Amino acid sequence: MKEKVGICIIGMNGAVSSTAIVGLELLKKGMIEKNNLISEGFINKTNRTIVPESKSGDVVSIAESLDLCKLDDFVIQGWDVNQESVYESAINNGIIKRDLIDKVKDETIAMKPWKAFTVIRGVGAKEINVINESNFMEASDKIIENINHFREVNNLKNVMLVNLHPTEKWLNLGDIHSNLNLFEDALKNNHELINDSMVYAYSALKAGAGFIEFTPTISIQIPAISNLANEEKIPICGKDGKTGQTFLKVALAHAFRARQLRIEGWFSTNLLGNRDGETLANPENLDTKVKSKSEALSKIMGYDIDSHIVNINYYPPRGDNKEAWDNIDITGFCGENMQIKINFLCKDSILAAPMVIDLVRFMDYAMKNNEFGFQPWLSMFFKHPLHDEIDYSGLSFFEQERLLTDIILNGAN
């Protein structure tokens, strides 16, 4: 019997989560196209690039090359402070069209989240679905118990946690993050430098589950956790899904670089109206996000760009329909200036959800092949790719694509 793969989502009722879950159920039933998944794409063997269709003999299927798990093999569960079913949260989030959601009502109305862990209990009156243990370590035990029970009941070989929790506030690194002993003591003492995501990441590794950090929060990047992944031989990856504006930014940056057009300034502003936007209206959380969005550009270009500004605005009229506006000032021949302005009317969760599914499939491949620690070959999925020794953070989007296709083509041989 084929073994199944488990996905445990932190923040199961959020916009990205419910879109990914409903989307996955729709995919299983063949009710939406699977051609937005990278893992369902092909690779042109000559150019080593991802292409949508298998038109000529010179391409290979990504899923076949890596013998990826089937979409049917996924089982999903998760945590949320909200008690709604996935069906209800999908409707409330208002991202996927209602008639599509209703096609998988039976599957999703039964999906209700486990009680969630949160360092600050009682964020809002509606949010009562919380783990209520006396310290963070006991909460972690509870999370581990959830994972193990989920694995057993569903006969899962591999389980992957995906962090889709709203962005948490920036934390400076301290001693307690530097090694496992200090970190475990800190868990027992409810230390103020511990956030929700660290507790989940620690629990995942302790339960033998992989961890995908899709948010900008500090979690798996602290040595206490990344070393644990190496010791436990478990793959981890992150961080901060490169969905929209930053995706275009690092693609265009490469284009300017290849044409020797110098970037004098880059101004990026965002309008967000969903819960993510509301969270980022808090300056402490915003700081975490802006840091994550700002770093790559200068590294890709190879010189400092002083006038790189990233703004994020909570703007309710638009809901999940995120909008990005960028202005780029470039200098060309004879010192002449030019400008490029980009307006991206995107749908955040629609961009993110298929990436979550792709990441779980690729991480499952890594787990099956005994890869562990950071997985920099998945850099194209992240704004801030985490790594061990070799720093891949200066790679452009196309160099990251190549990193992925090289692995797949080599893995395929």
Q: Which of residues 183-202 bind a second copy (CB under 8 A)?
A: none
- Residue among 1 and 334 whose Cβ is closer to a second copy: 334
Binding residue (CB under 8 A) for a second copy from 6, 14, 41, 210:
41
> Does residue 37 touch a second copy according to CB under 8 A?
yes
User: Could you tell me which of 199, 217, 210, 198 has the C-alpha nearest to residue 359?
Assistant: 210
Applying the rule CB under 8 A, the residues between 228 and 257 that interact with a second copy are 247-248, 251-252, 254-255, 257
Least separation in angstroms between residue 14's CB and a second copy is 16
- Residue among 35 and 132 whose Cβ is closer to a second copy: 35
Stretches 63-71, 114-122, 194-202, 390-398: which one binds a second copy (CB under 8 A)? 390-398
Alpha-carbon distance of 292 to 270, in angstroms, equals 14
> Does residue 311 touch a second copy according to CB under 8 A?
yes
Q: Which residues contact 149 (CB under 8 A, 6 or more apart)?
A: none
Alpha-carbon distance of 104 to 23, in angstroms, equals 9
Q: Taking the CB of residue 90, how many other CB atoms lie within 10 A of it?
A: 30
Mapped onto helix, strand or coil, the DSSP state of residue 91 is helix
Q: Which residues contact 192 (CB under 8 A, 6 or more apart)?
A: none
Structure tokens at 62: 């990504």
Stretches 33-41, 172-180, 203-211, 363-371: which one binds a second copy (CB under 8 A)? 33-41
Binding residue (CB under 8 A) for a second copy from 5, 10, 12, 50:
50
Alpha-carbon distance of 28 to 165, in angstroms, equals 25
Alpha-carbon distance of 163 to 167, in angstroms, equals 10
> Does residue 21 touch a second copy according to CB under 8 A?
no
Q: Which residues contact 193 (CB under 8 A, 6 or more apart)?
A: 171, 172, 174, 176, 177, 186
Structure tokens at 181: 């002993």
Binding residue (CB under 8 A) for a second copy from 26, 144, 162, 234:
26
Q: Which residues contact 339 (CB under 8 A, 6 or more apart)?
A: 327, 328, 329, 330
> Does residue 399 touch a second copy according to CB under 8 A?
yes
Rg, the chain, Cα only: 21
Q: Taking the CB of residue 179, how many other CB atoms lie within 10 A of it?
A: 14
Least separation in angstroms between residue 333's CB and a second copy is 5
Least separation in angstroms between residue 51's CB and a second copy is 5
Least separation in angstroms between residue 153's CB and a second copy is 29
> Does residue 18 touch a second copy according to CB under 8 A?
no
Residue 374, strand partner residues: 236
- Residue among 119 and 261 whose Cβ is closer to a second copy: 261
Number of residues that bind a second copy (CB under 8 A): 84
> Does residue 49 touch a second copy according to CB under 8 A?
yes
User: Could you tell me which of 245, 315, 213 has the C-alpha nearest to residue 273?
Assistant: 315
Applying the rule CB under 8 A, the residues between 78 and 107 that interact with a second copy are 95-97, 100
**CA dist 238 → 20, 218, 221 (Å):** 18, 10, 9
> Does residue 262 touch a second copy according to CB under 8 A?
yes
- Residue among 39 and 195 whose Cβ is closer to a second copy: 39
- Residue among 206 and 318 whose Cβ is closer to a second copy: 318
> Does residue 259 touch a second copy according to CB under 8 A?
yes
- Residue among 344 and 372 whose Cβ is closer to a second copy: 344
User: Could you tell me which of 138, 116, 145 has the C-alpha nearest to residue 209?
Assistant: 145
- Residue among 143 and 351 whose Cβ is closer to a second copy: 351
Tell me if 162 sits within 8 A of 237, measured CB to CB.
Answer: no
Stretches 37-45, 80-88, 145-153, 195-203: which one binds a second copy (CB under 8 A)? 37-45
- Residue among 315 and 372 whose Cβ is closer to a second copy: 315
Applying the rule CB under 8 A, the residues between 327 and 356 that interact with a second copy are 327, 329, 331-347, 350-351, 353-354
Least separation in angstroms between residue 272's CB and a second copy is 11
Alpha-carbon distance of 43 to 124, in angstroms, equals 47
> Does residue 323 touch a second copy according to CB under 8 A?
yes
- Residue among 191 and 322 whose Cβ is closer to a second copy: 322
> Does residue 316 touch a second copy according to CB under 8 A?
yes
Mapped onto helix, strand or coil, the DSSP state of residue 207 is coil
- Residue among 229 and 359 whose Cβ is closer to a second copy: 359
Alpha-carbon distance of 396 to 380, in angstroms, equals 8
Alpha-carbon distance of 394 to 299, in angstroms, equals 5
